Amino acid sequence: MWNAASQTSITLEDVHRASALTMASMDENFFKVRLDRTTPAEKRYLRGMAELRARPYRSGDIAA
């Protein structure tokens, strides 16, 4: 947020801007690297978790 702030004090707008920049950086650097390393079976499992949406769920529900 300090880097996103345009003044010496941090505003709510700065927080929103920093949050967006941080999420974009995480998507590009942190999550993408990990997703690139997953096997096709792991990707199908992750897709299954995303499609269930309701939590908690059992591992068997995801596999199905």
Q: What is the pLDDT of residues 54-63, one digit of tens each?
A: 778 888 877 7
> Could you tell me which residues come within 8 angstroms of residue 64 by beta carbon, excluding any fewer than 6 positions away?
48
What's the pLDDT at 33?
A: 86
Task: Kindly report, residue by residue over 27-55, the tens digit of the pLDDT.
Answer: 888 888 888 999 999 999 888 888 887 77
Rounded CA separation 44/38 (Å):
10
- How far apart CA 45 and CA 62 sit, in angstroms, is 7
